């Protein structure tokens, strides 16, 4: 799983500086303007969807190979999907380090809450998520970069 994560991070860093990454950002911001600038919008969207689907598919394959079982209850658990999105938003979107920092912080918080309050785990995690959204709407890294914009060049 660590190798998949390293490969995903390397792909993200490459994509953020490549011509395809610039085309993806242009398409995200304004598809019509990107098309006027010569970007093949359907092809760029297809590549974006393929890249976005590749890594979760590989993670699912590695997990199935590692556990030797495919369990629909854990494979399609809505809580796991929601937690991954919440963890990424907690760190701050728009940077590579934001979701990583958010995942590390929120997994640590989730484990701490689970150990101390096993019955109230989801309630306390939900309150912590709401507090995070209210007090740090741009996430951890986004809020730091808002206060210190000169640090933006050091944060990928």
Domain positions in the chain are 1-76, 78-156
CA 19 to chain centre: 21
Q: What is the pTM of this model?
A: 0.73
pLDDT band (50, 70, 90) for residue 5? confident
Residue-wise pLDDT for 102-117, tens only, equals 889 889 988 888 888 8
Q: How many C-beta neighbours within 10 Å does residue 106 have?
A: 23
Distance, in Å, from the CA atom of 97 to the CA atom of 9, rounded to the nearest integer, reads 10
Distance, in Å, from the CA atom of 35 to the CA atom of 13, rounded to the nearest integer, reads 24
Residue-wise pLDDT for 69-125, tens only, equals 777 777 777 887 788 888 888 888 888 888 889 889 889 988 888 888 888 888 888
Task: Tell me the three state secondary structure of residue 121.
Answer: helix
Token look-up 């920092």 returns 101
CA angle 82, 87, 89 (to 5 degrees): 95
């Amino acid at each position: 799983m660590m190798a998949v994560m390293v490969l995903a991070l390397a792909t993200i860093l490459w994509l953020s500086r490549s011509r395809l990454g610039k085309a993806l950002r242009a398409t995200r911001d304004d598809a019509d303007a990107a098309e006027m600038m010569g970007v093949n919008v359907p092809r760029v969207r297809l590549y974006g969807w393929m890249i976005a689907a590749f890594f979760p598919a590989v993670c699912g394959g590695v997990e199935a190979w590692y556990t030797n079982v495919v369990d629909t209850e854990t494979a399609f658990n809505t809580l796991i999907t929601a937690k991954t999105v919440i963890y990424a938003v907690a760190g701050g979107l728009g940077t590579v380090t934001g979701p990583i920092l958010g995942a590390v912080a929120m997994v640590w918080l989730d484990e701490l809450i689970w150990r101390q309050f096993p019955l109230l785990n989801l309630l306390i995690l939900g309150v912590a998520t709401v507090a995070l959204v209210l007090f740090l709407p741009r996430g951890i890294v986004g809020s730091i970069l808002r206060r210190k914009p000169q640090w933006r060049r050091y944060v990928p």
